[in-house]
Each structure stands twice: as C-alpha cells, then as structure tokens.
Structure 1
C-alpha cells in the first residue's frame, strides 16, 4: 500500500455515493448505462512519433519556470491560459495517477517509455470532474486528458490563479526518478491537433466517421423551437441535429412541468426514432456517449435515458417505473444543462465537437447481467486465527467477486496490519487493517451497513473499522481484477492472475500495466508471494 498514495485516487470515480433524485425507486441500480465503457479522446492528436505541447501555444503562456521560487523548489513550469483550456498528454503512455493530490487539488501522472527512456509527466491544479482518464488508461500524445483549473494551492486563489503546473520526471515519478526542467522537453514538442489521426478511445461506441461541422452551428428545423432555451441547451440541440441525421425531432422549452428544467430553458428532449428496436437503442446509446464525452463542453448537469438517471459527474441509478415509454424516457434522451444564460441575436455557438466518451463505472464492484455482486465460492474460511470482530466481514468480502476469496482477503489484511492491528500506522501514514493512506481512503473507503453494502459517501467510515476496512479492501481488489481481465486475455500483461491483482493493490494498477506484469519493485515482488502464503493458514 505504500506506493499507492496517489495512483489509487482515481478510484474515487468508482465509489461515488449513489445519487437519488427525481423520485427514484427505493431499489437503486448500480449498473452503468448499457453498451458504454470509459474514457474520452480528441480528434487530431500529433503526428506519429511526435511529442505534444500540453496546451496549445503553451510556450507563449508560461508564468513560472522550473527552479527555486519563494524559498522552495518549483519542480515544474506553470502555463496559464484560463479556466477550461484543454490539456493534452505530452507523449504516449499509461496513466499511473488520476485524482486528488495534496497541493494540486487534482492531478494526472502519465508514465512514458520512449526508446527505452523512462519518464513521467505530471499535470496539476485541475478541477474535480474534469479528469477524462483514469489509472491504467493508455493514452496518445496530443490526447485531451483534462482542462486547466485553479484547484489546490494557486496564487491568487480562485479563477484568477488558474494554470497548468507541468512536471517531467526522468526515471519515472513512482520509480525513483527526479524532476528536471521541463522546458527542453517542451521545446521538442509540437502543437496538439497537428496530427491527422483520431485519439478517441478505440472501444468507444461513437461513430468514428462522424466529423465536426466546423464554423458556427446553424439552426435546424429538427429543433421544435429555440425560443426561451438557454445557450447550453441550444448548443446541444444544434450539435445533435448536425451530427445525427437520423434524429427528426428535438424538443425544448415548455411553460409548465413538474420540474423546473424545461420551463427554465435548461433542458432538451432528443426523440429517438424506432426506440423499441436494436437500431433505435444503439442510436440513443451513441448520442448519449457523444454528449457524455463532451459533457463539460456542453455544460451538462445530467441525462435520463431508458429509465436511467445519469449525472455528468457521479453514479447513475434506475428511476421508478412511471408507466409508459415517454415518462420512462425510452423514446427520448432528456438532457438538463447548468445555467448558461440566453443568447444574443448574433451569438456564436461555435462548432460541434467530434468524438466523445462512454460512461464510467458506477461502483468498482464486479457485477453480473442482473447488476448484482457476483458471489464467490464457499471458501471454508478457517477463522481460528482471525479476531472475532473481523470474521463476518472477511466472509462477506470474499463474496464480492470470484477472484477474492475470504482466506486471501484475510491474508492480505493480516499482512498489511502486522497481525490484524486495527490501529496500525506505517511510517508513511498508512492506516488500519488495509493500510490505506488518508488520501486513498477518501476515494476508496466508505461506511458500510450490516450487509457489507456501501451506506455512506466516499471517505466515510474508518480504515480501522473491521467492516469498513474489510469491504473496502475487497472492493478495490475486485475492481483491479475486473480491469486486468481483458489485459490478461489480450497479452498486455502476463503472470499469475492473483499475483497481478495483488501487485495492483500494492504498487498500483498502472505500474502493472507499465511493466506488463508484476513490477520489478522488491517490495511488490515479495508482497505477491507473502500474502498468499499468509492466506494458507486461513484456508486458502
């Protein structure tokens, strides 16, 4: 756990508290929208083999250089062009950290290997909800990964202090490397968007032949009326009309509704032709993926599609059955936007973005087609050497997914906490049974109920609580195993699946992918052997 202070932070996206709005049913669903995966891209990138500036025209907008500053070492270069300026991956690589970080608010770290040279790039001060990659993602140079913000320690505080803090670590950030002056590296790079390829996620359900319209988005006869619609709503309606010729009708403002979205001009309804067919459902899924992937650009607050409430940032849930296809949103996609004001007569709506994303997973727990936790086999846990207060939770933790048995979970907790010590604290501050760093617990941890199910927001509960700690460790192991399964099948990583999963827990999933297997760290190499050995006495 000592090496994962940062690299697990992105898991916060997988454990967001279930959102309950719009009178949802009492039984919420932890499934992701059907047919959708995770990550977003941007068309163009840079020519093959080139490095990309992290922002367009970055070298003309540097505000602070590498070196001593205010009595301490400034390990990077600051680039300031305003809140929301797109930030791009410097080089091809694998994301090893994405999420909360002290001083940075939110950060991303990408590990690179160019001609055998290992280095990492660091991107800091982004806002929550604007990270478009997660740990383990493979990215391309020039790929849109986040946007400029003012999170963390910036001067002056607030939007006026917005900038990208960019670092380069030769030898790798998590592998003992050191920060070097980024300027020589940046001077080797080219402008993002100068490539001719498409850096969007290969598995995206978005049609790769769809292109941006270019120029100002024109009005469309498919939009029933733009009167009384706010700017974000009009931009969405025009972009969908331009990119999806199958759509014939897009509704918007109405004077009276049970909710304020339509009367305020903040919502549109995209009617899906043949919604009851596979073709209609796929069209709706494609439109949802396109809009979700560009949710920040469009200022989306939430979607409803096929009875599922999908926030732009957060966890989706199934709503109550309202009785017909329209009320259940099977025949249309409802999109509500944040306040954006009303356009002037000559307002320029820009052009429709290309590419998009798919919706991130909702809980990090492996689920089957019925969206229920997959139960493991009866592991015949030997509880003789396990404290009584832990037995129930270790047994429940061993039922989250097939890859994590109760004895294995017991072995991990015993090893991590030096003999099931609830208040164990490592020299670097890792805490409790699973040795979670405070920043990690804020994303992975959560209070659980008597059945081991999440009952509190991310970061609630305690790493020293038997229930909270056991279930958090099990959920995280299962999410690692789930993510690693296709990588093992494709040959991207190799080795014993249990050892690969444990290596991800100890060193971070990105490190496993970077090295194609168990990383060559002495601690991790020992860890993947000693945990199963410890588990043997618990029935493993």
Structure 2
C-alpha cells in the first residue's frame, strides 16, 4: 500500500509539472472571478438543511398558507357555529402535519390554551398594523413566547387536543392584534396566499376586505417602448466610464423603477479585487429601506426584471441579498463578507458583457417589458429560523452605539442587540442623562448600588479593565456593556425560576427580563411573574416593558 501511495503521489506531481502555463494563468483568472469565488456554498433550493426539518422560509414581507394545502382539507368556515362565533377556519389533516408561520413575526404565546388544548399565537407588523395569527389544537410546538419567527418557519404540528372532533388546525387572523383587534374570516387570505415553498406575485397582506390587488407601478416612465438612447439623468445616478451595454441597463432601470431606487451607479477605480466595476461592466441599484419587506420586494422586482431580460441586456450574473444568480444557472448562497453592503443586502449588483465603448454603432433599443422568476429558486430555500435580532437594522441607532450594542447583545442568547437598543431608547433616548427622581443616571439608567456591581470600565473590545463600579455611566462603551451584563444576569435568574416552576411566563420571558431591569429581579421572583402588587408596577413597569417590546422590531435586521 505504501508503494502504491508513493506512485500516486509521483504521478500527481508529474501531472502538475506538465500543466501548460496558459492553463495556470487561466485558473488564476478563474479564481479571481467573483461568481466562481463566492458561489461555493449550498444551493438555495429545497435540499438545504435547517434547524427544523420542515422549514420553508419565504421572502420577508410574505404572507403564506400556514399548512401545505395538499395535506389538509377545509372542513369548517368562519362565522356562527353551534350557537357561538367560530373565529377562524378549520383545516383537517393527519396528526403531525407541519404548521408554518404565516408571516414574519414574534411568538406572543405558545403552550396550553383553554378550548384549544395547545396553541401558538404570533404577532406581526403588516402594512404598519399589528396583526395576530392563531394556530389552535396543535399536537406539538417548537417555538416559545418572545421568539422571532419567519414566514414559512415550522412552528407546530397538527393535533387533536382540546375541544376537537378530529385532528385539524384551527387558524385565525386578527387585524389590530388578538388583545385589541377583531377576528376576520381567514378564508379569502388563505385562498389568495401561496403555499409554503411557493411564490405568488400577487400574494397579499391580510385585511378585512380580502387580498389586495397588485400595486400599480410607481415609476415615472415605466411604459414599454421608452427610448434607451437617452442618457441617465444626473439626479438618478451616474453612468460615468460605463460600457455601452452597461449604460443601456442602467438607463432601463431608471425608466422602469424611477425614484423607487435610491441611486444608480457602478463604476469605480478600485474593484476590490474584481474587474467588473473598474471595467465599467457593473451596475449597482441601491434599494431604499432595504431591511423592510417593501425594500426586499423592490429588490426582488429589480432582480426579476433584469434576469427576465438577461439576453437583451447581455447579463452575466446578478447578486442580491448574499445570493449569486448566474444566467442559466442555479442560485447559490455566498459566503458572509461581513457587512450589508458587501453582502449585497442594500443593493442589487448586475454584471453584463459590456460591449465596449463605441456608442456610434450601438443599437440602444427600447425598454423591454416583462420580468423573470430569478427569486423563485430561492423561495424553496430551507433556512434555519435563527439569528433574527442578532444584528441591528442599518441606521437604526446612532453609529457610535452600534458596535457596543452588537457586543453587548452577544453576551447571552436571550438578550439581542435590538432589545438593548429599544431599551436604551426608552431609558435615555440615546442621550447622556443625569440622575432622575429614582436615583438612576447615564445612558442605561443605573442606580448607584447596581452600578457598583455591574459598572465596569471596558477597553475597546469590551473587556473589563477596572474594578466593579469603575466605569462611567455616561460613556457609551461602559454603559452598554453593563446593560448587557445586567440583562443577561437577570435572564439567567428568571429562566431558572421559570424552569423550577416558581415563576410563570405566559407572555414569554422577555417582559420579565425588562421588569427585572426596571423594578428589580426580586420583584419578579417574589410575585412569581410580572409584578402587579404595587401601583408603580402598573403605571411604570408595565408600560416600560410593553413599549420596549413593541419598538424592538424597528432595530432588528431581518433575513440575516
């Protein structure tokens, strides 16, 4: 065996030595090529892996059917039934059939429920309005209150618990929220929504009047036939140093999408090791509010328009939201480059075969119509529903706070940067703060006795460099790291009490962590849950926790 291995090794060495120099040069160029270098991870098709095997994550902003319609049967409508109001619809299916989150949101409740046996309740912000969805009679659930979930993430399985005549999912929609809104008939929304793993262009947000019509184009000059010989207006961006096919594409994007895009450009002298920007073959379409559902939908439209007209525009490939889309190939997830810009979350990148710089012989043509389905292949992607809230939404906090919130939000898994950001907004509005009437001060409002335990001076990496109490409450680094430490300590104590049964968390543990920060963790332990025995808990601690939880989502980066 040893002699065989030596022979094999010598053969490989000989093979390498005889490779022509031209081929070696070609390989060097190949490995510098962006699409080959970055598209090395698993395809975004439905064959990926996930923390929950049934996940079928949909694009942010989606509303989908909560079950695979091929596996269930509609058995009971919304409305009057057996002398009471049936506030949802029933979808019968075998016990164990996966149930998916209908939209991105937060778990408001998960566990036992009167009548349902067990349920999951999700809260969503859809078109600026709080909306709840209810999933009843479930057999098992795999989420907990306070957890963020994605549309298409498996949250439960169909069961036959509670007051049930057979295994089924009872599904409700509550515009305005379950505690302050009214239930509406989910059937129109259910019928109009895509199944898990599918994409439908006219899928709608839930509303009292059923699915909405697709929005009308808002671009000022989106009509087919627009002349692409007209140069890009300076107000829309720059086509400086671009080749002719690149100019045609950038002009078409302006005519098609207008002011729905922040800016259009692409040429720069430094390509970061890649040639398409310096050579004038790349366009970057900057997406406004790119972390929102609306922003993602705009980017999807740009991508689908470009890929649907790839031959006309001589497109080579595009990149959008850390995904590489080769013309004629399969989308691939790219390696993480470390920022929203480098991962292409804030813009769609398109590289074309440039066509040179001779405009005299260029046949510009007119704006094409139609679009492709470039994002369709990514819809079936199975992505773990974890990591939401691990990063801050771009621009959501003053820049000097962002790195410290990221560090403090990584101390323990229960406390995310977005929660800490919402808490600082509530405590001080991100401003230095002197002592208040309760004796608390600083960005994160510590009283003297608590600061003496958690208020360390920290270095540039957040490591403690002095004794407890040595930090400055009005220094961002010291204040935020102390906030993270204290919140994680509270979370550990309260989680232990929940585990041993001495504290109940019907609305999830997050509100208890916040109550502990505001009123002291002892108040939560003494009362076995959210404290209510003193008027201060009612008029101060309760709205404190509610406001922070309500505002947390705006600081949270989605689909990261």
TM-score normalised by length of structure 2: 0.32
Q: Which has the higher contact order (CA 8 A, sep 6+)?
A: 1
Judging by fraction of residues, say which structure has more helix: 2
